[in-house]
Amino acid sequence: MPRFVRYLAPLVAFIALAGLLYKGLSLDPRHLPSPLIDKPAPAFSLPLLQQPETLISNADFKGQVTLFNVWATWCVACRQEHPLLMQLAKQGVPIYGLNYKDKRDDAKRWLQMYGNPYLANAFDAEGRTGIDWGVYGTPETFVVDKQGIIRFKHIGPLTNDSIKRDILPLLKQLQESDG
Amino acid sequence: MKHFRFLVLAILLAGYASAMAVGLEVFDFSGNVDEHRYKHLIAELRCLVCQNQSLADSDAGLAHDLRREVWELMDQGKSDAQVTEYLVARYGDFVLYNPPVKPSTYILWYGPFALLAIGLLVLIHTLRRRSRQTESGFSAEEQERLQKILGTEKPDRD
């Protein structure tokens, strides 16, 4: 083995390791890959937040590309995200909500106070539908295509960046695809 | 000293109390669900909210819900594998403290053995080279000449 190779090998190994660890620093361990991407949205049938006697199911938002937003009034980041949802709703993006482990009155008051960006809200008091959707940290936002397949999941509050970079281009692309 | 002892006792008790606070739900283990199996299973599953705790240890709301879910699935007669599958389908392999062996985890499972093998190879290589080298670092020919000059059987080690 030429001498310089022997001296360089540890350096190369060190740089490779340092690079790997540096990359690890920029990864957020809270962002877990969802096994639900490209799978049909988990079925549910829940009472509406506003009209408890009416049921809403995942079949209700088939045929259009929708956002499915999991939120709760106890979730601080949801408050932060709320104005962005209002903006999206104003742009005509259909948003359905899953009110997750919340109190009905609190949630209704929230929508009165801050505005209601949702076409409808499913009321998941016990969080079982949340579990079926793999929810572990509110807010979470799913993009569901026309066939009811989950195409994307955003964990944590939406930001202007994430909307511009991920959500809007994907919505456009899914809306243009037929079926 | 007395104060110190009291402090240690207080800390230990606090730890005990917080350990007791976790898993407050009371489940009925007189029916289908074997308590040992249940406890073993939730210790193998990872809480997604506080990521370095198992479902058994975590006091997060989601951990409570998932423990309830695990208990109910077991009550329905589901096997450990079926319960695990149920959670993996929703949350991914991340919920498992014992990740499955598959292409994306090969490096995790076999990486340490590969490193060990590399280490052994380097060790063997080094040892061989050392033993091949004569102690003085001279070639056989040079050694012969040296012996002639010095008139000894073998040069002493330095």
Q: Show residues of chain B in contact with A133, CB under 8 Å.
A: 90
The CATH number fitting domain B2-100, selected from 3.90.1170.50, 1.10.8.640, 1.10.3720.10, 3.40.190.10: 1.10.8.640
The tens digit of pLDDT for each residue in B12-54 reads 666 555 544 445 577 888 877 888 888 888 888 888 887 788 8
Q: What is the CATH architecture assignment of A36-176?
A: 3-Layer(aba) Sandwich (3.40)
Residue A108's pLDDT is 94
The tens digit of pLDDT for each residue in B46-78 reads 888 877 888 888 888 888 899 999 999 998 988
ipTM > 0.95 for the complex: no
Question: Which range among A22-36, B19-33, B103-117 has the greatest average pLDDT?
Answer: B103-117
State mean pLDDT over A140-157: 92
Residue B1 reports pLDDT greater than 60 = no
Nearest CB partner across the interface for A34, out of B51, B62, B92: B92
Nearest CB partner across the interface for B48, out of A35, A132, A136: A136
Q: Report the sign of the C-alpha dihedral through residues A163, A164, A168, A170, in that order.
A: negative
Q: Which helix (H) or strand (E) holds A68?
A: strand A66-71
**In sequence order, which ranges of A27-155 are alpha helices (DSSP H)?**
76-90, 104-114, 128-132
Long-range contacts of A25-32 (CB under 8 A, 24+ apart): A29/B51, A30/A137, A30/A155, A30/A156, A30/B51, A31/A155, A31/A156, A32/A136, A32/A155, A32/B48, A32/B91, A32/B92, A32/B94
Domain boundaries, chain B: 2-100, 104-150
